Chains A and B, each alone.
Chain A
Amino acid sequence: MKRDKRLAFIPLALFLAVTGAAPAQPTSDQAALSQQVSAWMAEGYDALERWDYAQAEEIARKLETAAASAAADTKIQAKAAYFHGRFQFYTADYEASRPALERYQELDPGNVHPEFTDFLAQVRFLADLWKDRLEFKSEHFIIRVKPGKDRILVEPALEALERAWPVLTRELRVTPPGPILVEFYPDFPAFSQATGLSEQDVKTSGTIAVCKYRRFIVTSPKALVQGYDFQNSICHEFVHHLIYLRNGKHCPIWLHEGIAKYYEPRWRGEPGGTLPLTSLSLLAAAVRTDQLISFERMHPSFAKLDSPQQGQLAFAQVTSTVDYLIRTYGQESLFRLLDELKKDTDYRQALQWVTGKPFPQFYAGWKEFVRQEHFQEIPGLEVVELDIKKPGEPGGEDEDQVSEADLKENEAWKFVRLGDLLRDRNRVAPALVEYEKARSLMPLNVRLLNKLGLAYILAQDYDQAVARLDLARTYYPGMADTNVKLGQAYTGKGDLNRAIESYEQSLTINPFNPFVYENLIRLYEKTRQTDKLEQTRKRLALVQG
């Protein structure tokens, strides 16, 4: 997640900042009413923070009634309008929120501060963005998308969430009161506007979805060059949602993320705490060299860490910590810890209470646990940053170029560029020589492995292509491009079932690539999988708009 606790206090602080400075000379009735209104508003904000929107709605109604009474002055009317606008924003009804906030601006122009202006701008943006929204409901979730290609996300998203629902609610012992809204934002600027996260934040922490205001704010995979495993990500947010329902704000960020990451793969039936090889390698190296990131440094947000490597290491640490806790002290220990934290206890004390060991001892135990796991440190393994698509930039399978920064970073990129130049001139064999030269210098670079895979496909050496691409998929499973090329290579080899599997895998990361659907249709026809054929054709039509 990726949830920022500080954000929870912004509305109240904002309102107090907006209204507190206002001079008032009320009559006695007005004074009483004003006092009452202030009390309601404090309650209202608390309800909003607790995601108790039913209570917040009730308070909003009370405020409206108060504002309509004869004793109400413009200040009270303004307060009511403001609360109403904010309440509607929390419930994601931006079109209702906007006029209320604008009314507040009219009623109390003297108290319009930059924070409010920013907030109003955000609401206006979101109201405009979602005015033509499409919403799709399942039993427990509502998916909101913009008309167009994002429609393709609805079915897989609902499928993943509904599969996650019974597993996660059971395992985390929390059941959300009503349907949960999931908003898929069409591009990164919109996501950024909705969450306030910068591109660098996203790159560092890998945050592409946020659980906030009792809904999931999610970036569409089409906003990223390579896409991402959006089903996993929304299930990750679902875990955050459940923890928040369970503990409110009484859960430190490291534990929040650790639990979410631990339970993230459960919807697929995979065991909890499964981490990719890159993370394990980073973790093993950090434990060996004692370069671990302290839990304190993970506050207030993983997005504020120094680099993507640190972000990935932090996730590995916290996931492994939760894994250690559960495996060493049992599943109940996690719930006991959460319960203890509800009491606003320091996590170190809470951990001691649960494990019976002081935190340093627990931490040392965890480190020993990691050592005992014998995670492999893989030389040459690299952390892949999320690559946000620039305006007009094609995504997916389009060739990525060797940049000047690459060339400065490692001489190997020189050979890659030479390989690209030769390959583009149909000199595939010499290109392969150059690529292999580069590979001898950076054996596990995913971009290079993908280029090698493509070159071997062009050279019709499908065995070599599969070997290189398989390596890429093993270490970097989140790359749609790798899976697409693997699909091509397996097709070339004549292994149609594996080709289908690879293409299908690529769609879980980037479901917007028409080329993949077209190939799948051909393969389904060949393998006579008529049941999937029709569905894939429909999806292709959606993607092609």
Chain B
Amino acid sequence: MNASLAIVRRKVADLRRRIFWIQAGQGLSLLGGALGLVLLLAGALPWLPAPLGLIARLLLLLALAAVPALFLVRPLLQSKSDDHLALLIESAHPELKNALINAIQLGREQEAPDPRHPFSAVFLDKHLEHAASLIPQVALDRAAPLHRLKQRFLFLAIAALALALAQAVAPKFLARSFSALVLADFSLGAGKSKTSLARTAEPLTAGEFSLRYHYPAYTGRKVQTVEHSNGAITALKGAQVELATEVLEEVREANAVLEPGGKIPLRVEGGHRLSGQLTVMAPGAYYLEAFDRKGRFHAEPRGRPILVEEDLYPEVTLEQPVADLEVSPGDSVEIIYRASDDFGLGAAFLVFRLKDAEQRREIFRAEVPTRERRARFPWRVEEDEIQPGETVAFFIEVEDNDNVSGPKASRSQTLSLSVFSPRKRHEQMLARQEQLLEQMLGHLGDHLDDEIVRQRAWANYNLAQAETALLTSGRAVQTDLEKLALDLEEDILTEELVRSTLTGMARTFGALLDQREANLAQLPAAAGWQLALREQLLREVENDVIFFDKLIKKQRIDQILAQSRDLYAAQAELADLLQRYQQSGDPALWEEIRKKMAEVEAAYQALLERMAQMPREMPEEFVNAEALQNLKFKDFASQMAELKKALSAGDAQAAMELANQFLASLNAMMSAMEEGAGGYGDAISAEALRRMGAMQDELTQLEKAEQKLIEQTEALEKQALKRDQTSSPGLTQRLIEKTEQLEQRLAELNDDLLKLRPSPQSPAAKPAAPPQDFYAQRLPLYNQLHALQNELPYRKQELQAQELEKALEGFRRHEQTLDQAQPMLKDFLERQKPAPQDQSQALPGQCQAAGDLNREIIRELLSRKQALAKRLSPEERARLQALAQDQDQVKDRTQRLLDDFQSLSQDVPGLPSEIEQNLDQGQAYMRDASGELSLEDPGRALVPEREAKQRLSQARQALENAAQEMAKGMKPGLGMPFPMAIGAAGRRGGEGGRRGLFNRDFELPSQNAYQVPRAFRQDILDAMKDGSPDEYKDLNRDYYERLVR
């Protein structure tokens, strides 16, 4: 930079600094003076009336803030350019003739030349030098004089002096002024300033108070007096407190000042005794203030606390019920609750949420103060219009009796109450049926998927692994079927058919799975059999799925019908109410009509919703789609809207007409629906009935044909026997005699068996064996032998009647019985070692002898039969061959019937399986009979012939029963018109029992069964020994015969 220019600029900078300090001094002096003045003025603030005092105070504070802003900060922040300062100097030194300002400006030109103003550098230098030469002449005090600073100092001094004087006069003037100006509240409260003054005073009282508490009435508390208190108050909200105290100085007026707000005047007695009353509403404090006789104000510096005692919330517990519950419509729920409160209960309510709205029922209202209560309340759900199928959440709410702050409420735990609805349960069960159908379809799909895999990759296919997976899912299906069938028993709206169908499905399913599981161990050798079993199950699942699908859809339709009946019933009741209203004009009916209308709407809505849920793939047979289409639900909606409108308008006549119109439409709808829905079930049933009827006819014909065969075979046998009888008359008699011997031996054996007693020594070997074991083990043995003994008279009769084949069959059974009785007897004797020992040791020999005799009779009978066969004439032999052919024809017809039945069973799985079993067994017996006839043995042919007829008869009977059940189910509109399954009763034959012993269908007594009175047991034994009455003998015989075959 040019040296001359630097000189000039340095001068200018000196001036800037000077001006800054002058301005700072001025500002600070002014601020100090102003502060002093404000404090002086603030001393008067406490004497000013409240609003004026506040305004004055605000003005003073404003002034105090404005002075430094305007006179200190603002001037100091103002920037002063070199040009401005140069001009200031120029104005103080006109002799410079603008040399300074020009130097400043030209200096800038020299540093940053502007081509628009070309200056000669020489000229510039010259001018700057000239200006610099003038600088020494410049006196800065002329450009920035100090006289203003002096004035401000003077102002400051005066203010400080005045303040000092005031402080001298009133020693705490400064503090008070400051407090009044800054510390005091900015409220308009009168006497605030006084308060602040009073706080500086000494306590007014000696510090001893007498407090008398009057509690709110609801608490039931008595008046309570507290003497010698320090004045601290502790009370319930709403309590009134009478306070009394003595003051040290004589006062003429006193108050209790509440903090945070409020003032209670106190009564002054004798200048020293103060008393008053306050109501405790909130926690806080209070202090006393007073004016003495001289008018001086006194106020206590610290407040005495006011504490509010807490009124606790009541408590309530639900003692009963303790968990969510379900009730039947019309039931009453006993609710037991326990409630308590520290001061008293006000009321108790049962609160529940119904249709998105909270309902409250008052169940208790305290008439007298009650702190604790345990009560029962019978809740009749019908009264609260909780409909079947609805679930409400409920609890007990209790309120206390606090009438000061308002009652405080508490709630018990929340439980839910469901009103049992058969329809809802049915709906749930239907949903489960649908789930199960899905599961079965999944299972079917899994099987088929696996078949695809198996056929595509046989080499890598692991049958055992695949089977295990399929069996697992199959078991799950079976379990769910069983579980659902069981649960359906609780669903009164589910037809028995559904339940029995599921049970039947589960049973068949389970049996097939059992077989597959059993064969798993034989893999891979038995892979072919495993696959055959799988195929069998697959067919079963396919049939079940088809039928189950139908069953579910039919049930859905039945649901719709039930709901349409609801709607019809509600509408009919509405029409009836309207008619009654028209006749009586009773306004009470109007409310009932409105309610019924709401019911009609709800029923209509429910029906529409139900129809919307109907599966899309509902077969045509289920619903008459055309008829439904013609129903025009839109018309229903508009009819109902009109009806509602008429009701709202109070037009009973129009409403009546519309209701009847609506009823007629509904009637048409229901007819259409029932026609469509009923048609389906009827069609199935009618078709099934027709097929069953045809089967019954065929069975009757087959029975007749078999009977004819029996008669013809019997005739042939009798002819042969007649010839035999003539040739060897003593043979029969000998056999009868041997039978009597056998009877005798068995009688002795049984008598000896009964004479045995438990040995007292025997427990040495098995000390723990109780005596009842002896009897328990002996009884079945005795039963078998005794029954056998009772059978022998029949054998004699048969021999007498020349029914050799029958007799032979009988003796063969006896042989089996005796063969099995021997090891049982041996086992019994070894285990029990009964007394008397010699008698017991003889028993096996006796039994063996009986067996031998029985075998001898059989041998003789066989030899006689052989001899008999040789006596048949050629014609008789030819006749027997013809009968064999006839028998084959009957067998073939039976087989065809069996095929038909199996086909029918696929369509109607609920049919009893005993029909199939009987037909199957029947045709097996026919095959045997045909074989015997071909071998020209009429006697042997008769047994299977009779069996075959018996099976046909049983099959026919079962079929008739099934048809009757089905016909019962065909009542229109009463649900599924399907056949009723007979259930497991027919499946008992062929299951359980040990062959050869007469224990099929006997209930063998258990060990416990023995523990009946001895006399009773003896009666039974005696009765067994006596045998059956004559009139029952034929029946018994028939019974035993059928049992053993």
Contacts and interface: CB of A to CB of B under 8 A. Distances in A.
A390 B441 contact: no
B526 to A, nearest CB: 24
Contacts of B683: 404
A429 B448 contact: yes
A418 B444 contact: yes
Interface string A388-416: 00111100000101111101100000110
Interface string B681-720: 0011001000000000000000000000000000000000
Contact of A417 (B449, B546, B630): B546
A418 B546 contact: yes
Nearest to A398: B616
Contacts of B550: 404
Contact of A421 (B447, B545, B621, B625): B545
B944 to A, nearest CB: 34
Interface residues of B, number: 30
B220 interface: no
B542 A418 contact: yes
Interface string A411-446: 000110110111011010110011000000000000
B743 to A, nearest CB: 59
A404 B546 CA distance: 11
B899 to A, nearest CB: 13
B608 to A, nearest CB: 16
B625 A393 contact: yes
Nearest to B621: A404
Nearest to A424: B617
Contacts of A414: 542-543, 546, 906
B585 interface: no
A317 B452 CA distance: 47
B619 interface: yes
B765 to A, nearest CB: 65
Nearest to A399: B617
Residue among B442, B448, B907 with the highest chain A CB neighbour number at 10 A? B448
Interface in B442-463: 442, 444-445, 447-449, 451-452
A399 B619 CA distance: 12
Contacts of B830: none
Contact of A425 (B438, B625, B680, B687): B438
Contacts of B448: 422, 427, 429-430, 433-434
Interface string B358-381: 000000000000000000000000
Residue among B451, B546, B684 with the highest chain A CB neighbour number at 10 A? B546
A430 B449 contact: yes
B630 A391 contact: yes
B626 interface: yes
A133 B687 CA distance: 49
B684 A404 contact: yes
A414 B452 CA distance: 20
B interface, over-half SS: helix
Interface string B521-555: 00000000000000000000011011001100000
B629 interface: yes
B634 to A, nearest CB: 13
B620 interface: yes
Contact of B451 (A417, A418, A420, A433): A433
Given A408-B687, A418-B542, A425-B445, A390 B626 contact: yes
Contacts, number: 70
Nearest to A393: B625
Residue among A403, A414, A422, A433 with the highest chain B CB neighbour number at 10 A? A433
Interface string A155-193: 000000000000000000000000000000000000000
A391 B550 CA distance: 24
Contacts of B630: 391
A430 B546 contact: no
Contacts of A420: 617
Contacts of B451: 433
A407 B550 CA distance: 12
Contacts of B629: 390-392
Contacts of A422: 441, 444-445, 448
B687 A401 contact: no
A430 B444 contact: yes
Nearest to B626: A390
Nearest to A405: B621
Nearest to A433: B448
Contacts of A390: 625-626, 629
A405 B619 CA distance: 10
B625 A392 contact: yes
A430 B542 CA distance: 12
A388 to B, nearest CB: 11
A390 B444 CA distance: 34
Contacts of B626: 390-391
Contacts of B542: 414-415, 418, 434
Contacts of A427: 441-442, 445, 448-449
Contacts of B617: 399, 401, 420, 424
A402 B546 CA distance: 11
A434 B626 CA distance: 31
A424 B451 CA distance: 20
A404 B445 contact: no
B441 A403 contact: no
Interface in B415-455: 438, 441-442, 444-445, 447-449, 451-452
Nearest to A427: B445
Contacts of A430: 444-445, 447-449, 452
A161 B444 CA distance: 54
Contacts of B684: 404
B746 to A, nearest CB: 58
A407 B680 CA distance: 13
A214 B630 CA distance: 35
A418 B442 CA distance: 12
Nearest to B618: A401
A403 B620 contact: yes
A429 B449 contact: yes
B1032 to A, nearest CB: 50
A418 B545 contact: yes
A265 to B, nearest CB: 35
B687 to A, nearest CB: 7
A165 B713 CA distance: 84
Contacts of B687: 408
A242 B445 CA distance: 59
Contacts of B442: 425, 427
A409 to B, nearest CB: 12
A433 B452 contact: yes
Contacts of B452: 429-430, 433
B619 A421 contact: no
Contacts of A434: 448, 542
Contacts of A424: 617
Contacts of B543: 414
Contacts of B680: 404
Contacts of A402: 619
A425 B619 contact: no
Contacts of A404: 550, 619, 621, 680, 683-684
Interface of B: 438, 441-442, 444-445, 447-449, 451-452, 542-543, 545-546, 549-550, 617, 619-621, 625-626, 629-630, 680, 683-684, 687, 906-907
22 contacts: A390-B625, A390-B626, A391-B629, A392-B629, A401-B619, A401-B620, A404-B619, A404-B683, A407-B546, A407-B907, A415-B542, A417-B546, A418-B542, A422-B444, A424-B617, A427-B441, A430-B445, A430-B449, A430-B452, A433-B448, A433-B452, A434-B448
Given A391-B626, A429-B452, 17 more contacts: A390-B626, A392-B625, A393-B625, A403-B619, A404-B550, A404-B683, A408-B687, A414-B906, A418-B444, A418-B545, A421-B441, A427-B441, A427-B449, A429-B448, A430-B444, A430-B447, A433-B451
Closest 4 CB pairs of A and B: A430-B448, A427-B445, A430-B445, A391-B629
Interface of A: 390-393, 399, 401-405, 407-408, 414-415, 417-418, 420-422, 424-425, 427, 429-430, 433-434
